[in-house]
Amino acid sequence: MNANFVFLNSFTQIDEAAFKRLQEITSYRILRKNEIVAREGEIPSLSVYMLISGVMRAYISTESGKQYNKKLFVPKSFVGPLTAIITKRPSKLTYETLTECKVIETNFETFLGMCKTDIQLSNLYNKVLENIFMEYERRSLELMSLNATERYLNLRKRIPNIDELIPQFQIASFLNITPVQLSRVRKKLNYKHMLMKN
């Protein structure tokens, strides 16, 4: 059975006919490392992505050029500047690949048009939006209530090999700490691990 079909059915029940209709408006792509799919300050294309493999990020830049990672996307995530696409205004975030990524790309407006006549796809869209909202809330609460070590451990739980996938400064930016702070957190955890083994 198609893995993407199984994944979409984890949100809501769609039959194989609805999945086939969805496949007709999607395309498989491989994105290079450091490829930007939407840029801050620009009106984006109408493309949204389902991430099959790799890591992507959404970040904001300050006037001084410093970048802050708002979100890290891992398989299977839905990626794209939805607010900018819906409002037809410039994106407030840049969306970029941090590794080579395999994605399923679709045109958001085409998909939305299908949702008006296909109840299964409409239900899928609603469930995906609910999931995005819950993830946003989880991330906000994590930043407010957890310390740096707890946030790092949570990230490693979601992405076990994160330290091998992307540079330390990218991880630190997502955790809202400096690379030096992250280095201290990692050393402290490694020290505790060594003590437990002895």
What is the pLDDT, as a whole number, of residue 192? 61
Are 173 and 139 contained in the same domain? no
Indicate the pTM of the whole model. Answer: 0.84
Identify the domain containing residue 186 by its residue range. Answer: 147-198
- Angle, CA 23 vertex, CA 18 and CA 28 arms, to 5°: 155
Residue range 65-120, pLDDT digits in tens = 888 999 999 888 899 999 999 999 999 999 999 999 999 999 999 999 999 999 99
Same domain, 30 and 128: yes
Residues 139 and 151 in one domain: no
User: Within this chain, do residues 153 and 177 fall inside the same structural domain, yes or no?
Assistant: yes
Kindly report the CATH number assigned to the domain that includes residue 141.
2.60.120.10
Residue 40 is classified by DSSP as T
- Same domain (yes/no): 122, 159: no
pLDDT in tens, 19-48: 899 899 999 999 999 999 999 999 998 899
Domain identity same for 71 and 90: yes
Q: 72: part of which helix (H) or strand (E)?
A: strand 67-73
Tally of domains within the chain: 2
Whether the CB-CB separation of 56 and 80 falls below 8 Å is answered with no
Q: Are residues 127 and 52 in the same domain?
A: yes
- Residues 102, 25 share a domain: yes
Nearest 5°: CA angle at 37, between 35 and 38?
Answer: 130
What is the pLDDT at residue 143? 87
Domain boundary among 106, 121, 145: 145
Cβ(19)–Cβ(12) below 8 Å? no
Note the Cα 10 to chain centre separation in Å. Answer: 17
Looking at residue 76, its pLDDT comes to: 85
161 and 106 in a common domain:
no
Query: Based on the domain organization, do 50 and 126 belong to the same domain?
Result: yes
> For position 9, what pLDDT does the model report?
82
In this structure, the answer to whether residues 114 and 29 fall within a common structural domain is yes
